[in-house]
Amino acid sequence: MSNFEVAEPILNSPFQEPQAHWWILPGETPEQRPGRRFAHYFYRDPRSGTKACRHVIQEATQLHGGLGMTEEMKVSHTFRRLTMIAQHFGEIDHHLERFTA
């Protein structure tokens, strides 16, 4: 079990205020705390997403024998979807130039 998994999940009602939550930090043991978790967000660098995802999918495609052999697997669908999204909406470099100009 990784540091981001707990053995006993907390099931709170969707109609009442939460009674407890898990406080999880990287490298630490999860701690159960009372009450509602405070609101926060996670910022992911957008420049890392598309290129890293494309690299992983290309490597997985080659590992499984190319697009012809991966037709029945999810990696083929993901590769095509990522390519379509990049062509339709533009790569990250295009958007960075657009908003920093």
Confidence of residue 43 (pLDDT cuts 50, 70, 90): low
Q: What is the mean pLDDT of the chain?
A: 76
How many H helices and E strands in the chain?
Answer: 3, 2
Mean pLDDT of the 57-65 span? 76
10 token code pair: 């907390």
Q: What is the pLDDT of residue 20?
A: 92
CA distance 44 to 4: 18
Give pLDDT tens digits for 75-96. 777 777 877 877 777 777 777 7
User: Torsions phi, psi of 32, nearest 5?
Assistant: -85, 125
With cut-offs at 50, 70 and 90, classify the pLDDT of residue 45: low
